[in-house]
Amino acid sequence: MRRINYGIEARKHFYYSDTELQELHANMNNSSNEAHLASEIARFAVPFVFLNIFIVGVIGNGTLVFTVFHNKVLHNAPNIHIVSLAIGDLLLIVITIPFTATIFTFESWPYGVVVCKLSEYLQTLSVGVSVFTLTALSADRYNAIVNPIKHVKKVSPVKFALIIASLIWIASALLALPDAILSSVEDMGGICICKKYTSTQPNWYPKVRVITDFTLYFSVPLLVVFVFYVLMARMLTTSARGLREGQGSSDRVNKQMDSRKKVAKLVLAFVLVFAVCWLPRHIYVFWYQFDEETMSVFWFFFKISSFCLAFINSCVNPISLYLLSKQFRSYYNRYLFCCCNSSAYRNHETLQMKCRTQIRPTTNSTTAFSLLQTTNVDK
């Protein structure tokens, strides 16, 4: 593959941030025809992708948040965490994406230092909220399946979930502060660039941050989730063996365990989606910071793809819920598709009334009526 050499001085400006795309776009336009073609493709493709992410993300996450807040029957522990995820994604989509998309429209960053700092800060904040909330959900599912009796605490599950969600937001906000403080706008040959890693920072700082971000926001949380699910799998295997040996429990307990297993599978699906969406981005920044090889068209498109994929993660959870959760699909159709026939609406009301009656004797059960519940035919 033919390499595109931008020179040592130009490469020093390729720092890890969304706005390095702006720098790369400017540099490539001044290089070969091949580079110019790649840059022009990105100029039109990325804003189009971001527009779709914005529309789908705002509608999906907004509907999810409205659904839970508008229906008291949905006020339970799993849904608290799901709403926390959705709010974090909404902040990223509404505040960051419009500014980031214009990188491919304007050669120079037109929004000033404050918006630059806010954009970088919210990206890191949103990632922290997402990965830490998914870890908390996995821990909640582990506790519900492995310790179903101890899962009933003196503190109500909803209050406990609110406390955990608040701590996650506080921790994520504090961990993202360096990006708000250190990010800045720099002039690069007459073009203003919003940069996460500026020229005033020591050379080792970007490398340390790349390793820290990968450890804190990716590898360690996913390792914790993996451990939780291995322990859950062992427990479920032991329980299944006990049932086959005639040590089964009541139908009510079995149904409750089946429901919790379904929720655990959906949480695992969320985690896998997060991993798939963010792994390419981490691969790129590791290559960029630790490999002296100059930028190529391949890495440019890999960079663009991983960049878009990371933002796509902010709009896929509502889609997953719609496809896998009968309850959320019912609410989604009710609020967004007014053309639903009256029988579908009556079915929704019947389901909601049934769930209200089920919640009274099982207040502490996180499976009472969760958006994470699947249809009855799910295995």
More confident residue, 206 or 348: 206
Residue at 299 is within a domain: yes
Please say whether the beta carbons of 264 and 225 come within 8 A. Answer: no
Point out which residues pair with 194 in neighbouring strands. Answer: 185
Residue at 23 is within a domain: yes
Residue at 325 is within a domain: yes
Q: What is the pLDDT of residues 138-163, one digit of tens each?
A: 998 888 777 765 555 566 888 889 99
Residue at 189 is within a domain: yes
Query: For residue 139, which of 236, 264, 54, 278 has the smallest C-alpha distance?
Result: 264
pTM (2 d.p.) = 0.78
Q: Is 330 left (phi over 0), alpha (psi -120 to 50) or beta?
A: alpha
Q: Which residue has the tokens 């522990």?
A: 77
Give dist(CA 164, CA 158) in Å, integer.
10
Average confidence (pLDDT) over 166-183 = 95
Q: Range of 323's domain?
A: 8-362
Q: Which residue has the tokens 């908390």?
A: 136
Please say whether the beta carbons of 258 and 146 come within 8 A. Answer: no
User: Environment class of residue 236 by beta-carbon count within 10 Å: exposed (0-12), middle (13-18) or buried (19+)?
Assistant: middle
Take residue 14 and report the two structure tokens written for it.
Answer: 């390729």
Q: What is the CATH number of the domain that holds 305?
A: 1.20.1070.10
Residue at 370 is within a domain: no
More confident residue, 11 or 68: 68
Residue 195: its H or E element: strand 191-195
Give dist(CA 77, CA 63) in Å, integer.
18
Q: What is the DSSP code (8-state) at residue 187?
A: E
Give dist(CA 137, CA 378) in Å, integer.
20
Give dist(CA 359, CA 379) in Å, integer.
23
Q: What is the pLDDT of residues 49-71, one digit of tens each?
A: 999 999 999 999 999 999 999 88
Residue at 182 is within a domain: yes
Q: What is the pLDDT of residues 116-144, one digit of tens each?
A: 999 899 999 999 999 999 999 999 888 87
Q: pLDDT above 70 covers what percent of the chain?
A: 70
Please say whether the beta carbons of 286 and 214 come within 8 A. Answer: yes
Please say whether the beta carbons of 39 and 28 come within 8 A. Answer: yes
Give dist(CA 322, CA 317) in Å, integer.
9
More confident residue, 357 or 332: 332
Number of Cβ atoms within 10 Å of the Cβ of 219: 13
Radius of gyration, CA atoms only, the chain: 23
Q: How confident is the model at residue 221 (pLDDT cuts 50, 70, 90)?
A: very high
Query: For residue 182, which of 208, 161, 156, 164 has the smallest C-alpha distance?
Result: 208
Q: What is the pLDDT of residues 181-216, one digit of tens each?
A: 999 998 887 888 888 888 888 889 999 999 999 999
Take residue 19 and report the two structure tokens written for it.
Answer: 């706005």
> What is the count of structural domains for the chain?
1
Buried b / exposed e over 307-326, threshold 16 CB at 10 Å, is bbbbbbbbbbbbebbbebbe
